[in-house]
Amino acid sequence: MRDGTRMVADEVPVAIVHDGATYAVMMASPADLTDFAIGFSLTEGIIDTPDEVDDLELVETDLGWVVRLWLSKRPRAALTTRRRRLTGPAGCGLCGVESLGEAVKPARPVGAGRPLTPLALATAFDAMSQQQALGRLTRAAHAAAFLAPDGSMTVREDVGRHNALDKLIGALARTGIDTTQGAILMTSRVSVELVQKAAMAGAPILAAVSAPSTLAVKLADDAGMTLVAVARSDGFEIFSHPHRIQPEQEQIRVA
């Protein structure tokens, strides 16, 4: 045993406030918070586009961060019926949901998308790992990435996998990237809420390094989404709608 130092990931409370009322308080990494608030608002169904946010303000306090959003008329009305006050740990995607039906609601159906080759998928996971600056420094952060048809990639990180995906979805929406023609990659297992969030973004392919739950597989299948998991250097497994992955090598296993 020897003394030493290491980088530790920041984790702070982040309050998301719509029109003066706190909608959620999440434990998150204090980076890309504009993307986080926009993405969270999109995946919660509060807004349909970033244009429905009239203004946004980031406020740092002694306890954490407050992200204040002022909404246009349409989402303001929807918020009245959708509101949930919650405190969510970094690993929680459904904390505070008031009914079982809300927790297991069907994922939004996705479109046809474009096929993806195994080589392109493997290359994308390698490229994502190279862009995980926080993960390399701390070994305590998840990443979510979007692979566009032209091979370009957008990556966001957070201590929570749901937060990372919300940040990614917010970043994509703010820059106008078409999520219906690419694939979302995750460094985590595949949970129900990740399928729901990816479907809200319109992504036809969701791929992750760890295995999915049974309900996640069902939701992805019902939504028409291609779900790829257990992605490793020697192959991966396809759990739903394998037609979007064009086989090139025998290492592909259809579960």
Residue-level pLDDT at 85: 47
Residue-level pLDDT at 252: 47
Contact in structure between 150 and 177 (CB atoms under 8 Å):
no
Residue-level pLDDT at 79: 72
Residue-level pLDDT at 76: 75
pTM above 0.85, yes or no: yes
> What is each CA distance from 230 to 7, 82, 125, in whole angstroms?
28, 34, 12
Distance CA 20, CA 115 (A): 44
Residue-level pLDDT at 90: 63
H or E element at residue 67: strand 65-71
Active-site positions?
92
In order along its 255 residues, the chain shows pLDDT tens digits of: 788 788 888 999 999 999 999 999 999 999 999 999 999 999 999 999 999 999 999 999 999 999 999 999 887 776 766 655 455 666 666 565 556 666 667 899 999 999 999 999 999 999 999 998 888 888 889 999 999 999 999 999 999 999 999 999 999 999 999 999 999 999 999 999 999 999 999 999 999 999 999 999 999 999 999 999 999 888 899 999 999 999 765 444 555
Residue-level pLDDT at 134: 81
Residue-level pLDDT at 87: 55
107's CB contacts (< 8 A; 6+ apart) are 195, 196, 198, 199, 200, 219, 220, 222, 223, 225
> What is each CA distance from 31 to 16, 86, 108, 159, 162, in whole angstroms?
14, 21, 28, 11, 14
